[in-house]
Amino acid sequence: MRAMVYRGPYKVRVEEKVMPPIEHPNDAIVRVTLAAICGSDLHLYHGMMPDTRVGMTFGHEFIGVVEQVGSSVQNLKVGDRVMVPFNVYCGSCYFCVRGLYSNCHNVNPNATAVGGIYGYSHTCGGYDGGQSEYVRVPFADVGPSIIPDWLEDEDALMCTDALATGYFGAQLGDISEGDTVVVFGAGPVGLFAAKSSWLMGAGRVIVIDHLEYRLEKARTFAHAETYNFAEYDDIVVEMKKATDYLGADVVIDAVGAEADGNFTQHVTAAKFKLQGGSPIALNWAIDSVRKGGTVSVMGAYGPMFSAVKFGDAMNKGLTLRMNQAPAKRQWPRLFEHIQNGYLKPNDIVTHRIPLEHIAEGYHMFSAKLDDCIKPVIVPGA
């Protein structure tokens, strides 16, 4: 089969790979019909996440058709059209029964924090992902759901991560009626977080980025006020001015491991460490929220991001909430909002790229070329 393969930082290729076999009676093999590239994949692509091994296939956002099922699988059959949340999880451990699917204890023996994520390095369990023609789906009775007939493929695809994560980011913000919510990052996660914030009662939503075309999308898609941080000496001061010098009630970090304040494309982990391991957007978030406010961190960080303004957070009495999103937990609410017309998830999809051209897709999405917001990958195209 054809699959995206990681060959080192900034190097991905499409290669011939052996079809994944059923390894356990709980497994299913899914023929991928659509996948997406996520901002999280860029952290791998940039070499920012530990234990990202050459030869791995990325891709934790995918939908497809069940090709084969293991002997104990009961809820799926060959031919079912399925959406698969980005988390790999068992459904029955201490964490899963509490809804913490992204912290499953049974899928990632090496980890103390995160559970399993498809195509997301050996730090997250070493599972190959779905930027591929076929993918092995463990615990097939737990994660995947049959896609309802009324739900279109690209909308289902957005629910596997980006939309579920944006919505979860707003949920963790614990937004009260009338709150001012500031979202750092106008990528797919930030756009969906901004859009979701209104659903939770926000009175004002502000989105910050430095890419004008994405801020335009934040205005039209998420009806947000926008600030281009590159136009201000200090975006934190601007946020203070915008909030009567109180700070925002809730700030959502939808940026994560952006390593380089100059936004050049060739960042290395070593260079980042030399800069002191300071996550720019997260520290801006801590500085922009009011005393007693909440910072919801959806941006993904690896262990090298250590210089967080923890003292400031403590003295401001902040609530910091964060996690990899347990994507499937959000689906029932997302389905309601899609069905009632409030959310049209594939409005943010800008590119549809054949799997064979995925390297160009990574480059474009990483360098933010051609007004790219969300690239979808089409195997077999």
Q: Are 55 and 5 in contact (CB under 8 A)?
A: yes
Identify which of residues 73 and 313 has a Cβ nearer to ligand NAD in the complex: 313
Residue type, 327: A
Helix ranges restricted to H, 115-182: 153-159, 162-172
Q: Is 87 in the site for Zn ion (CB under 5 A)?
A: no
Chain centroid to CA 155: 15
Q: Are 206 and 185 in contact (CB under 8 A)?
A: no
User: In the bound complex, what is the minimum distance in angstroms from residue 244's beta carbon to ligand NAD?
Assistant: 22
Identify which of residues 64 and 169 has a Cβ nearer to ligand NAD in the complex: 169
Stretch that binds ligand NAD, among 124-132, 295-303, 309-317, 344-352 (CB under 6 A): 295-303
Identify which of residues 335 and 365 has a Cβ nearer to ligand NAD in the complex: 365
Coil vs helix vs strand at 35? strand
Q: Is 256 in the site for ligand NAD (CB under 6 A)?
A: yes
Helix ranges restricted to H, the chain: 39-45, 153-159, 162-172, 188-199, 212-220, 235-242, 269-274, 280-288, 310-315, 327-339, 358-367
Identify which of residues 154 and 161 has a Cβ nearer to Zn ion in the complex: 161
The secondary element (H helix, E strand) that includes residue 206 is strand 204-209
Interface pick for Zn ion out of 161, 179, 249, 253 (rule CB under 5 A): 161
Q: Is 211 in the site for ligand NAD (CB under 6 A)?
A: yes
Coil vs helix vs strand at 260? coil
Q: How many CB atoms lie within 10 A of CB 138?
A: 22
Torsion 117-374-163-152 (CA) sign: negative
Site residues (CB under 6 A) for ligand NAD, limited to 14-73: 38-40, 42-43
Burial of 345 (0-12, 13-18, 19+ CB in 10 A): buried
Q: Is 358 in the site for ligand NAD (CB under 6 A)?
A: no
Give the interface size with ligand NAD as a residue count (CB under 6 A).
33
Q: Which does 179 bind (CB under 5 to 8 A by kind): Zn ion, ligand NAD, none?
A: none
Site residues (CB under 6 A) for ligand NAD, limited to 172-201: 184-190
Q: Which does 229 bind (CB under 5 to 8 A by kind): Zn ion, ligand NAD, none?
A: ligand NAD
Binding string to Zn ion for residues 21 to 40, with x set by CB under 5 A, is what? -----------------x-x
Query: Closest Cα to residue 282, out of 217, 170, 187, 185?
Result: 185
Q: Is 254 in the site for ligand NAD (CB under 6 A)?
A: yes
**What are the residues binding ligand NAD (CB under 6 A)?**
38-40, 42-43, 161-162, 165, 184-190, 208-211, 214, 229, 254-258, 280-281, 298-300, 324-325
Per CB under 5 A, residues contacting Zn ion are: 38, 40, 161
